[in-house]
């Protein structure tokens, strides 16, 4: 099962997007990551009484079965006086922001024809993507780099000298040998014997379950998440998966670029086998490494062919399919799967939720009919690929991984420095521990109060929009207003962070540490089955520059990291705060009423509470948005590339709604939230309304490598940054009024689309 936030069915809990830079350790799984973008807990389940758990883990690392020392106690946020440079001298930060806004603009561009270039052109013209990045953003990346520097200082300072798990994990990663022969010997002893003994579909399912325990992708994905019909309990989800390229399109598209990627993929598989197995491949799966690579690509292409496009999985009504275990196709051997995981089927009411019923029917046939040597090769590659992606076998093997996934798939010229990758891994693996330290230094109670105050005004603005929407019936208006009142807001940091009690970290064994973290995530997920949903749980750490709305809990979550400069400051002009953090809050709130979120009620349950007439009018408006965005194509790519309006529909509705909600809140309720300036006093040439829209647009200033942009068009439910500006603002009459745009210009079209 996958790591991080990779949900299993529809009902997605959308992220704001533009996350901090993603290390390529996860890019081979990017299709799953985006497909499942419902903020779920870690997607894995764990600890059956199997040979692998007993032999693969206990024999090699017996200490993992003992608890570690007690965790350090959690901490409340600091007083404002103890914060770091994020709240530096307010006069300095305000002056720096004004200069940053002005310098990022290109006033030679007509804002009514290309507002993205007007707001971001100066920054775009003078900014190059660093060679160790595949994209770079003005706001998200720059803030993430500041937070990264703070985390690095913590890890190399007090968290290391204090002997914490986070500090020890970080340094075990830094000190990992370039060529980890000991880890390879361990794999030779424990893993390869298991592969050699595969003989039928039942033994394949047995090993698949063991892979999922270790968070290695194979054939399909499994996850534990809130049940969509009853969000007070957890269900087990099975989702299509098993691919190693970013999406099904990478296997099926016949363009020259994708054919080249597949050719490079074959070379990568062969190279990885040759460097790890050598001649052992013949003994393991009775074929050369070159033949094995071809068989793996063929098998994954078959999986791609039976997979649905990501856009087709967005509707929770069609991708939430509870199926009795007795009806799961026979060659899936679900009883064996549960036995290995140690799951009693009665705990999940003898039911599994499938996202794509036909996929699992055909997968069962594939698992029974595919030659066993092909399956051995496929599973061996997936295990090795998972380990090298996380640098668990050392830098030499990671180089091979990066050369394919980083350079060729994503267009990144150079690896990130080791410290950054080790920090990223530590942040991912022990994120709540880092979060406690981060909050102590960088978040104040006054900042939380200010954010709560702004959020109340955003919600009041949305209430007015609901009240004044003419196509909503009184019945639906009343139900929508009740759902709005029930939204649960989480700001800053979780009350009960994960303490990682059962994670054992040793200073000189990064491979063992990595497996311990994977097993912890799996165990934690499995333990949720049969229990009530923890409504206090956060599925994002406080140091994450992002936000999310979870429809299954009807909750919005705003981590401490995004409540920082440049998104928000108590001394910024109100126009800047509402254009930045206000639009983020409006975006997340709008997700509760987008094409997915609207299908969940105020308690987070999936059921129909819209009348058919009102639903039809919503769908007409949503399809207008879909057609609009499908007409957009990135200027950096050739004309055949365009935004997928169906895949990005929910995010686009949230972007359109977020701007409107934030602007209206700014106009009606901005008093008391920020120092009051006239816009022209802050940035010469901009009045208050114009400053709001420029501040919004500059959140999305970003450059991509062409390869990454192509990948995101296939896999990301968010539109590329340019269209997160053009889409919402070109459809909003108040923008055209603010800049005096003539009717018929790009940002003042004759006909517009809007949902809210």
Determine the Cα–Cα distance for residues 325 and 303; give it in Å rounded to an integer.
22
Query: Which residues 6+ apart lie within 8 Å of 55 measured at CB?
Result: 190
The four Cα atoms 675, 679, 680, 683 give a dihedral, to 10 degrees, of 90
DSSP for 616-643 reads HHHHHHHHHHHHHHHT---TTS-TT---
From the candidates 23, 83, 432, 655, which is the catalytic residue? 655
DSSP for 732-751 reads -HHHHHHHTPPTTSTTS-SS
Determine the Cα–Cα distance for residues 618 and 509; give it in Å rounded to an integer.
55
Phi, psi of 606 (to 5 degrees): -80, 110
Phi, psi of 634 (to 5 degrees): -60, 135
The answer to whether the Cα torsion of 649, 655, 660, 662 is positive or negative is positive
Determine the Cα–Cα distance for residues 119 and 319; give it in Å rounded to an integer.
40
Structure tokens, 468:
């004044």
Determine the Cα–Cα distance for residues 57 and 450; give it in Å rounded to an integer.
48
Please say if 655 is a catalytic residue: yes
CB-side neighbour CA atoms (13 Å) of 443 = 26
Phi, psi of 193 (to 5 degrees): -65, -35
3-state secondary structure of 496: coil
From the candidates 588, 689, 707, 716, which is the catalytic residue? 588
DSSP code of residue 408: I
Range list of β-strands (E), 31-188: 135-137
Please say if 588 is a catalytic residue: yes
| Nearest CA among 96, 97, 93, 86 for reference residue 147 | 86
Give the H or E element holding residue 364.
helix 357-369
Q: Which long-range contacts (C-beta less than 8 Å, at least 24 apart) are formed by 706-709?
A: 706/411, 706/636, 706/637, 707/134, 707/408, 707/409, 707/410, 707/411, 708/134, 708/135, 708/410, 708/411, 708/412, 709/634, 709/636, 709/637, 709/641
Query: Which residues 6+ apart lie within 8 Å of 88 measured at CB?
Result: none
The neighbouring-strand residues paired with 135 are: 704
- Which positions are catalytic? 588, 655
């Amino acid at each position: 099962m996958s790591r991080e936030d990779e949900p299993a069915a529809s009902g997605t809990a959308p992220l704001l997007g533009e996350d901090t830079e993603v290390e390529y350790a996860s890019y081979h799984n990017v299709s799953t990551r985006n497909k499942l973008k419902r903020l779920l807990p870690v997607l894995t389940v764990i600890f059956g009484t199997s040979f692998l758990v007993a032999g693969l883990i206990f024999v090699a690392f017996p200490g993992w079965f003992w608890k570690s020392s007690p965790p350090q106690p959690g901490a409340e946020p600091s007083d404002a006086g103890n914060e770091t440079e994020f709240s530096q001298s307010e006069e300095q930060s305000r002056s720096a922001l004004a200069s940053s806004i002005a310098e990022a603009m290109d006033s030679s561009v007509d804002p009514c024809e290309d507002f993205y270039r007007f707001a971001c052109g100066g920054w775009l013209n003078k900014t190059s993507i660093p060679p160790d990045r595949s994209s770079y953003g003005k706001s998200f990346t720059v803030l993430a780099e500041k937070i990264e520097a703070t985390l690095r200082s913590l890890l190399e300072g007090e968290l290391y000298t204090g002997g914490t798990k986070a500090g020890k994990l970080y340094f075990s990663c830094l000190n990992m040998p370039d060529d980890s022969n000991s880890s390879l010997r361990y794999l030779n002893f424990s893993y390869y014997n298991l592969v050699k003994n595969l003989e039928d579909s039942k033994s394949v399912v047995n090993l698949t379950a063991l892979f999922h325990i270790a968070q290695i992708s194979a054939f399909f994905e499994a996850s534990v998440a809130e049940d969509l019909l009853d969000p007070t309990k957890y269900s087990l989800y099975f989702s299509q998966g098993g691919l190693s390229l970013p999406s099904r399109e990478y296997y099926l598209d016949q363009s020259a670029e994708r054919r080249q990627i597949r050719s490079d993929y074959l070379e990568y598989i062969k190279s990885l086998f040759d460097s790890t197995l050598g001649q052992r491949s013949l003994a393991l799966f009775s074929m050369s490494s070159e033949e094995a690579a071809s068989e793996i690509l063929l098998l994954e292409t078959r999986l791609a062919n039976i997979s649905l496009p990501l856009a087709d999985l967005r509707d929770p009504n069609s991708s939430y399919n509870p199926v009795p275990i007795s009806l799961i196709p026979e060659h899936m051997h679900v009883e064996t799967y549960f036995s290995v995981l140690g799951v009693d089927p009665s705990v999940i009411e003898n039911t599994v939720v499938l996202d794509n019923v036909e996929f699992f029917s055909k997968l069962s046939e594939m698992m029974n009919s595919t030659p066993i040597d092909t399956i051995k090769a496929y599973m061996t590659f997936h295990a090795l690929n998972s380990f090298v992606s996380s640098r668990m076998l050392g830098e030499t093997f990671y180089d091979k991984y990066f050369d394919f996934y980083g350079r060729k798939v994503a267009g990144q010229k150079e690896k990130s420095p080791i410290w950054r990758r080790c920090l990223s891994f530590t942040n991912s693996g022990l994120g709540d521990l880092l979060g406690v330290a981060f909050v102590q230094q960088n978040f104040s109670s006054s900042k939380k109060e200010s954010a709560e105050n702004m959020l109340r005004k955003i919600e009041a603005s949305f209430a007015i929009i609901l009240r004044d929407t003419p196509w909503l019936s009184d019945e639906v208006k009343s139900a929508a207003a009740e759902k709005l009142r029930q939204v649960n807001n989480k700001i800053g940091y979780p009350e009960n962070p994960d303490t990682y009690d059962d994670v054992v970290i040793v200073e000189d064994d990064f491979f063992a540490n990595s497996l311990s973290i994977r097993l912890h995530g799996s165990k934690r997920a499995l333990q949720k089955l049969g229990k009530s949903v923890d409504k206090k749980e956060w599925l994002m750490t406080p140091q994450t520059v992002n936000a999310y709305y979870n429809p299954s809990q009807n909750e919005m979550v705003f981590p401490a990291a995004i409540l920082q400069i440049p998104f928000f400051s108590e001394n910024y002009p109100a126009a800047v705060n509402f254009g930045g953090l206000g639009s983020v809050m409006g975006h997340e709130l709008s997700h509760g009423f987008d094409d997915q979120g609207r299908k969940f009620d105020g308690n987070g349950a999936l059921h129909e509470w819209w009348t058919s007439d009102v639903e039809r009018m919503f769908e007409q408006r949503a399809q207008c948005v879909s057609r609009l965005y499908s007409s957009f194509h990135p200027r950096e790519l050739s004309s055949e590339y365009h935004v997928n309006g169906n895949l990005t529909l929910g995010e686009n509705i949230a972007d359109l709604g977020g701007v409107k909600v934030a602007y209206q809140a700014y106009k009606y309720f901005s008093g008391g939230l920020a120092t009051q300036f006239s816009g022209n006093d802050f940035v010469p040439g901009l009045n208050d309304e114009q400053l709001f829209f420029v501040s919004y647009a500059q959140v999305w200033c970003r450059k991509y490598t062409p390869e990454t942009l192509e990948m995101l068009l296939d896999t990301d439910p968010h539109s590329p940054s340019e269209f997160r500006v053009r889409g919402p603002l070109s459809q909003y009459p108040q923008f055209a009024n603010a800049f005096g745009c003539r009717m018929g210009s790009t940002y003042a079209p004759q006909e517009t689309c809007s949902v809210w």
